[in-house]
């Protein structure tokens, strides 16, 4: 029987942030997640590190939280943040009165919003619509949700924190009004076990209501689905927000070599619903092309969706009207001592949410250690000397990409492989510059059960070909290097990987995307005899 002082339920940004915070304070903490880490809303979003400008009119408390946390995350997670800067633009169809309220709200929230001329806006972002009337620069940025979350786990491990993936919570054990433990099932093997603990923290995001129900308590969580589009190149250098009342399709975020447009807002009954439709795609394009008039000229890579966990207090509103703030619920008020729920918020404020949650837990445990998560970097940076020495083994810009993905210890091991085995310099994924040596390093980790687990750590299959040319290579290499028995099921693992890519491609099958998909279909059907998920 496994034991921990605190069990954190949910491996999204909030959950891993809590794991890190409590571990740094010396609390024996174990995190359980029913899938791989960062499998929900923390990765299915536009990757925007908010300046707070989006909330400056409607929710200044959230805006102030965002600008403060924005600066902290830039400091502690340098390799996860691209300092793109942000631009808010008002079109000639947008309300000038809202602009005035927004400028005032930014000033009151501590957000630096610098006005620039139309000419300067067009110089910085040449593809902008000429219907732009005014523009402002703000400290928005792009953030890699996968990397930030995994680095939190790595940091927690240094302080004794533990995590178990593919462990679904199926029961909350209690007696006489006190929590006794959390029952989990291994979703790979079916094995069930009880984890004894003093405190459990329900940080399951959109699933928080379902987890609470296992304990016989209620939490007002409304899953709110947001659909996004990924384009095959950078349309912008800055994060571009439309300066009007928050709505669908009004944010463009540059990420690496692509651009993400989002998002929509739709209340749904089931957080598992990450489906996207052609209608949603068309709606986003119709709105987005008002900001970038030639948007449809660029190839869409995929559509994807995530479920925001909006907290709905009794009598509260749903959808875009719901607060983007967060709430902490102590279920001792419901008659169950030892269970907490944290819900709501946004990725930008995950560290603050974790701090407030850890404060409450430590108060219960009598732990007086203060929070240090805003001061200590998540992981050490790879030194410039190490990167310079490694450049001869990587493609032109592959060194920096590998260094930011891997961190110093893994990077050193990968470079050693490249030195000793020149054949491991071969690229598994040409779009993202992932070498065989890097793939091997990640595939050998105990937490990798499928190719998608490797994808989330390395970005294999996330580039412009969407896995067309690396899926087969990845399946073969996973069978060779993976520790888990499932890795040997090569064809099944490849189909899982391709099916995940296909789910996002299907709603955007027009123009050049359709032509490339036909090439992929021919490649796998004619060359590999993979047809409709069946093997001949």
Burial bucket for residue 123 (CB in 10 Å: 0-12, 13-18, 19+): exposed
The tens digit of pLDDT for each residue in 317-356 reads 554 444 557 999 999 999 999 999 999 999 999 999 999 9
More confident residue, 529 or 220: 220
Q: Which residues are CB-neighbours of 184 under 8 A, at least 6 positions away? A: 32, 164, 167, 168, 169, 170, 192, 193, 194, 195
Taking the C-alpha atoms of residue 501 and residue 21, their distance in angstroms, rounded to an integer, is: 34
pLDDT score, position 485:
80
pLDDT score, position 97:
98
pLDDT score, position 314:
66
The tens digit of pLDDT for each residue in 464-492 reads 888 888 998 999 999 999 987 887 788 88
φ and ψ of 422, to 5 deg? -55, -30
pLDDT score, position 498:
85
Q: How confident is the model at residue 532 (pLDDT cuts 50, 70, 90)?
A: low
pLDDT score, position 494:
84
Taking the C-alpha atoms of residue 74 and residue 80, their distance in angstroms, rounded to an integer, is: 8
> Taking residues 98-120, what's their average pLDDT?
98
> Taking residues 101-109, what's their average pLDDT?
98
For residues 221 and 258, is the Cβ–Cβ distance under 8 A?
no
Q: Look at residues 262, 245, 241, 251 and name the one whose alpha carbon lies nearest to residue 138.
A: 241
**Percent composition of the chain: helix, strand, coil (DSSP 3-state, to 5):** 40, 25, 35
> What burial letters (b/e) apply to 326-338, b meaning 16+ CB within 10 Å?
bbbbebeebebbb
Residue 526 has pLDDT above 90, yes or no: no
Using the structure block, give the residue that is written with the tokens 């209501």.
209
Question: 319: phi > 0 → left, psi -120 to 50 → alpha, else beta; which?
Answer: left
CATH class of 2-41+146-220+324-365: alpha beta
Q: How confident is the model at residue 166 (pLDDT cuts 50, 70, 90)?
A: very high
Per-residue H/E/C for 110-155: CCCCEEECHHHHHHHCCCCCCCEEEEEEECCEEECHHHHHHHHHHH
Taking the C-alpha atoms of residue 363 and residue 402, their distance in angstroms, rounded to an integer, is: 41
**What would the two tokens of residue 449 be?**
């059960």
More confident residue, 167 or 516: 167
Please name the helix (run of DSSP H) or strand (run of DSSP E) that holds residue 165, with its range, or none: strand 162-165
Taking the C-alpha atoms of residue 217 and residue 349, their distance in angstroms, rounded to an integer, is: 26
Residue 426 has pLDDT above 90, yes or no: yes
Percent of the chain with pLDDT over 70: 97
136 forms beta bridges with: 88, 115
Q: Where does the chain hold its CATH 3.50.50.60 domain(s)?
A: 2-41+146-220+324-365
pLDDT score, position 527:
79
Q: What is the pTM of this model?
A: 0.94
> Taking residues 484-507, what's their average pLDDT?
85
Number of neighbours of residue 321 by Cβ within 10 angstroms: 10
Q: Which residues are CB-neighbours of 480 under 8 A, at least 6 positions away? A: none
For residues 95 and 244, is the Cβ–Cβ distance under 8 A?
yes
The tens digit of pLDDT for each residue in 382-404 reads 999 999 999 999 988 899 999 99
Q: How confident is the model at residue 315 (pLDDT cuts 50, 70, 90)?
A: low
Q: DSSP assignment of 55-81, as one string?
A: GTTT-HHHHHHHHHHHHHHHHH-GGGE
Q: Look at residues 491, 493, 489, 516 and name the one whose alpha carbon lies nearest to residue 505.
A: 516
pLDDT score, position 136:
99
Helix (H, G, I), strand (E, B) or coil at 29: strand
pLDDT score, position 216:
97
First-to-last CA distance in the chain?
Answer: 45
Residue 285 has pLDDT above 80, yes or no: yes
The tens digit of pLDDT for each residue in 240-253 reads 999 999 899 999 99
Taking the C-alpha atoms of residue 397 and residue 382, their distance in angstroms, rounded to an integer, is: 15
> Taking residues 518-536, what's their average pLDDT?
71
Average of per-residue pLDDT values in the chain? 93
Q: Look at residues 135, 136, 88, 121 and name the one whose alpha carbon lies nearest to residue 251.
A: 88
pLDDT score, position 321:
47
> Taking residues 44-67, what's their average pLDDT?
95
Architecture per CATH, 79-141+224-307: 2-Layer Sandwich (3.30)
Residue 284 has pLDDT above 50, yes or no: yes
Helix (H, G, I), strand (E, B) or coil at 492: helix
> Taking residues 47-51, what's their average pLDDT?
97
DSSP 85: -
More confident residue, 431 or 133: 133
Long-range (24+ apart) CB contacts under 8 A made by 178-184 are 178/336, 178/337, 178/338, 179/215, 179/336, 179/337, 179/338, 179/339, 181/7, 182/7, 182/9, 182/32, 184/32
The tens digit of pLDDT for each residue in 201-215 reads 999 999 999 999 999
Please name the helix (run of DSSP H) or strand (run of DSSP E) that holds residue 521, with its range, or none: helix 511-522
> Taking residues 301-315, what's their average pLDDT?
88
Of 38-52, 150-164, 503-517, 518-532, the one with minimum mean pLDDT is 518-532
pLDDT score, position 507:
96
pLDDT score, position 534:
44
Q: Look at residues 375, 430, 441 and name the one whose alpha carbon lies nearest to residue 407.
A: 441
pLDDT score, position 528:
75
pLDDT score, position 535:
38
pLDDT score, position 320:
45
The tens digit of pLDDT for each residue in 259-281 reads 999 899 999 999 999 999 999 99
Percent of the chain with pLDDT over 90: 83
Taking the C-alpha atoms of residue 474 and residue 66, their distance in angstroms, rounded to an integer, is: 38
Burial bucket for residue 100 (CB in 10 Å: 0-12, 13-18, 19+): exposed
Q: DSSP assignment of 254-269, as one string?
A: EETTEEEEE---EE-S
The tens digit of pLDDT for each residue in 65-96 reads 999 999 999 999 999 999 999 999 999 999 99
φ and ψ of 205, to 5 deg? 60, -125
Q: Look at residues 223, 225, 347 and name the one whose alpha carbon lies nearest to residue 284.
A: 225
> Taking residues 225-248, what's their average pLDDT?
95
Q: Where does the chain hold its CATH 3.30.9.10 domain(s)?
A: 79-141+224-307
pLDDT score, position 319:
46
> Taking residues 418-447, what's their average pLDDT?
95
pLDDT score, position 484:
79
């Amino acid at each position: 029987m496994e034991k921990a002082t605190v069990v954190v339920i949910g491996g999204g940004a909030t959950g891993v942030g809590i794991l890190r915070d409590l571990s740094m304070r010396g609390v024996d903490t174990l995190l359980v997640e029913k899938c791989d880490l960062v499998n929900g809303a923390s990765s299915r979003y536009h990757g925007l590190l908010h300046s707070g400008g989006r909330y400056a009119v409607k929710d200044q408390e959230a805006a102030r939280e965002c600008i403060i946390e924005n600066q902290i995350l830039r400091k502690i997670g340098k390799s996860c943040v691209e300092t793109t800067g942000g631009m808010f633009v008002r079109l000639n169809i947008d309300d000038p009165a809202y602009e005035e309220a927004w400028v005032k709200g930014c000033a009151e929230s501590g957000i630096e919003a610098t006005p620039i001329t139309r000419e300067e806006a067009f110089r910085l972002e040449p593809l902008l619509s000429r219907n732009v009337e005014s523009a402002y620069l703000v400290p928005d940025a792009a953030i890699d949700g996968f990397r930030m979350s995994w680095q939190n786990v790595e940091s927690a491990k240094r302080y004794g924190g533990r995590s178990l993936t593919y462990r679904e919570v199926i029961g909350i054990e209690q007696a006489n009004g006190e929590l006794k433990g959390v029952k989990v099932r291994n979703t790979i093997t079916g094995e069930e076990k009880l984890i004894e603990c003093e405190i459990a923290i329900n940080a399951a995001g959109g699933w928080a209501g379902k987890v609470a129900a296992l304990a016989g308590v209620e939490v007002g969580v409304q899953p709110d689905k947001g659909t996004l589009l990924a384009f095959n190149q950078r349309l912008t250098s800055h994060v571009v927000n439309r300066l009007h009342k928050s709505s669908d399709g009004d944010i463009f975020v540059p990420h690496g070599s692509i651009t993400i447009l989002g998002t929509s807002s739709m209340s749904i009954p089931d957080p598992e619903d990450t489906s996207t439709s052609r209608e949603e795609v068309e709606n986003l394009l119709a709105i987005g092309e008002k900001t970038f008039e030639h948007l449809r000229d660029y190839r869409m890579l995929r559509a994807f969706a995530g479920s925001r966990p909006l907290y709905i207090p009794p009598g509260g509103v749903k959808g875009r009207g719901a607060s983007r703030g967060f709430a902490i619920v102590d279920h001792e008020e419901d008659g169950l001592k030892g269970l907490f729920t944290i819900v709501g918020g946004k990725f930008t404020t995950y560290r603050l949410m974790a701090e407030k949650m850890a404060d409450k837990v430590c108060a219960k445990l009598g732990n007086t250690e203060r929070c240090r998560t805003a001061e200590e970097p998540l992981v050490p940076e790879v030194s410039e000397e190490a990167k310079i020495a490694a450049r001869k083994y990587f493609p032109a810009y592959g060194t920096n990409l590998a260094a930011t993905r891997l961190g110093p210890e893994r990077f050193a091991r990968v470079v050693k492989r490249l030195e000793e085995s020149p054949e491991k310099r071969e690229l598994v994924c040409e779009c993202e510059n992932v070498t065989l040596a890097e793939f091997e390093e990640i595939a050998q980790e105990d937490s990798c059960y499928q190719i998608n687990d490797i994808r989330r750590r390395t970005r294999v299959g996330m580039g412009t070909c969407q896995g067309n040319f690396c899926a087969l290579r990845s399946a073969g290499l996973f069978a060779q290097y993976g520790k888990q028995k499932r890795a040997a099921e090569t064809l099944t693992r490849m189909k899982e990987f391709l099916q995940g890519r296909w789910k996002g491609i299907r709603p955007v099958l027009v123009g050049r995307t359709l032509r490339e998909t036909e090439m992929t279909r021919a490649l796998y059907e004619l060359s590999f005899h993979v047809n409709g998920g069946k093997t001949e």
